[in-house]
Amino acid sequence: MRTVFKTSYDQDIDLFKHGGQRFWYALLMLGLVAAPFFLESYALTQLSFVLIYGVVGLGLMLLAGFTGLFSMGHAAFLGVGAYAQALLCQAGWPFLLSMPVAGALAAAVGVLVGLPALRVKGIYLAIATLSFGFIVEEGLARWESLTGGNAGLLVPQAQAFGWVVDSGEKFYAVCLVVAVLSTLAVLNLLRSPTGRAFVAVRDSEVSAQCMGIHLASTKTLAFALSAFFTGLGGALYAHQIRFLSPDQFGILQSIDLLLLVTIGGLGSVHGAFLGAIFLIAMPQGIAMLKDYLPPHIGQAPGLQSAVFGLVLIGFVLFEPLGLYGRWVKIRTWLQLFPFYRRGMLARQKSYQKSERLR
């Protein structure tokens, strides 16, 4: 186990705690940059999907994991971002410009949703965002002059100043750059006063208020930023899918995103990407497993949904901190090898607090 003695303030606010971390993240970056050279196109597409869902997950993680407001209509922001990107691309905007604009549009919608969120909490907020998600989905389906309705909308290829993103490798590069920049942005946000305010609001609204945090503006900002990153992910998603239809942004997609942050590990940036890997790899794994299962189980249409449900229940019951929490436990075990004892990182149970009194 490495013990870091902090001797300067710079060391305290450093993104990487020690040289080991620097080494492993550099290796990871190297692998990601080199991926197009040794991966075949299908695997590369899946990797792009992981990066896209990672960006979307970062957005929801900011809201659900760090601010403690959970949204059941997040697919709506994804949809707003995706449709904005598609329409702006059709109008001939370069993607360097249209992607931030798509994100900003989603953020504007996020502020709109944040407004009722100031008055309601907990389950009421979940239902408010759920309702909002339904309204946006229906709106996308009905505003046919703009979105093409249920007939769908073709997304043109991304281009910027003569450079057209016309191959999987180029698109992967775009995804990688966006994902890395978003991750850095979120990491830096989280160690800024704003990020600490988010966490304070999550842990206790009353204490946060006592410390001088303005609840209303913090929550609205959380919604806006979360929607921005989700919208950014949506813009990438539009190019990946190439064909948008309203039912891609419905309640099931929202629940998938919640599944992503829960399984990845609420309240960790790693969790967003781990959850994205899970969400993409799980259906593949099930598809591969199908051949080895008895046919009446393997060919059943509900297999994937049942496995997802089981995994979700298992994680909430046995590993509430998700995949990242599991990794932290394994790492601690390795570091402390002979001295690890069970329950070191166990969550402390608290008495149930009444939501009605909060």
Shortest Å distance, C-beta 333 to another protein: 23
Q: Which of 316, 68, 69 is nearest to 203 (CA)?
A: 68
Residues 6 or more apart in contact with residue 358 via CB below 8 angstroms: 121, 122, 205
CA distances from 271 to 29, 171, 274 (A): 17, 24, 5
Do 35 and 44 meet the contact criterion of CB atoms below 8 Å apart?
yes
DSSP letters along 219-285, please? HHHHHHHHHHHHHHHHHHHHHHH-EE-GGGGSHHHHHHHHHHHHHH-TT-HHHHHHHHHHHHHHHHH
Helix (H) or strand (E) holding 154: strand 153-154
Shortest Å distance, C-beta 309 to another protein: 3
Q: Which CB atom, from 101 or from 251, has the smaller least distance to another protein?
A: 251
Q: Which CB atom, from 36 or from 110, has the smaller least distance to another protein?
A: 110
Q: Which CB atom, from 34 or from 300, has the smaller least distance to another protein?
A: 300
Note the residues at the interface with another protein (CB under 8 A).
Answer: 64, 70, 116, 119-120, 122-124, 126-128, 130-132, 134-135, 138, 141-142, 206, 251, 255, 258-259, 262, 266, 296-297, 300-313, 316-317, 320, 347, 349-352, 354-358
Task: Look up residue 322 and give its two tokens.
Answer: 């998700």
Shortest Å distance, C-beta 106 to another protein: 19
Shortest Å distance, C-beta 105 to another protein: 20
Q: Which CB atom, from 9 or from 318, has the smaller least distance to another protein?
A: 318
Q: Which CB atom, from 64 or from 277, has the smaller least distance to another protein?
A: 64
Shortest Å distance, C-beta 36 to another protein: 35
Shortest Å distance, C-beta 307 to another protein: 7
Q: Measure the CA–CA gap between 142 and 136, rounded to whole angstroms.
A: 10
Sign, Cα dihedral of 178, 183, 189, 192: negative
Q: Which CB atom, from 105 or from 125, has the smaller least distance to another protein?
A: 125
